[in-house]
Amino acid sequence: MTTTLATYPFLRLLLHTGGPHPVIETEWLGFAGSQDFREALTEAVKLARLHRPTGWVADDRHLGAVRPKDLDWTHTKVLVPLGELGITRFAHLESVQVLNRITIDGMYQSAVPGLPYEFRHFTVLAEARAWASGA
């Protein structure tokens, strides 16, 4: 079962409860300025505290450009806290925009070694969801 937890013009936050373990998904729909980007991800972390998922899907395929300072913020304020909230699997679908893919992947490559959860890249959304849920 999938529930929409929040909707923004640039992001949809979903909760999947049909698999072995609950999963939160950030489905980026387009560009978000710094303030909107940070507010939406802060809300996503709050919702993770409330719903206690063990999996996370970051669907960045349509995410617009992200500033380096926002990527640094994401590492500190999102990726690290997710480990403290019990996330065990983080599935990532890369941006279709080459520059975004390079920039965002660089942030993940530097962040992942210090995170307490398993991280994998995917190209198929259904596979990312299944893996993140433990199916």
The predicted pLDDT at position 39 comes to: 98
The predicted pLDDT at position 106 comes to: 79
Burial 25-45 (b: 16+ CB within 10 A, else e): bbbbbeebeeeebbebbeebb
The predicted pLDDT at position 99 comes to: 76
The predicted pLDDT at position 78 comes to: 96
The predicted pLDDT at position 102 comes to: 80
Nearest Cα residue to 106 out of 43, 37, 47, 60: 60
23-34 pLDDT, tens digit each:
999 999 999 999
The predicted pLDDT at position 114 comes to: 85
What amino acid is encoded at 127 in this protein?
Answer: E
> Residue ranges of the chain with pLDDT lower than 50?
none
Superfamily of structural domain 2-133:
2-enoyl-CoA Hydratase; Chain A, domain 1 (3.90.226.10)
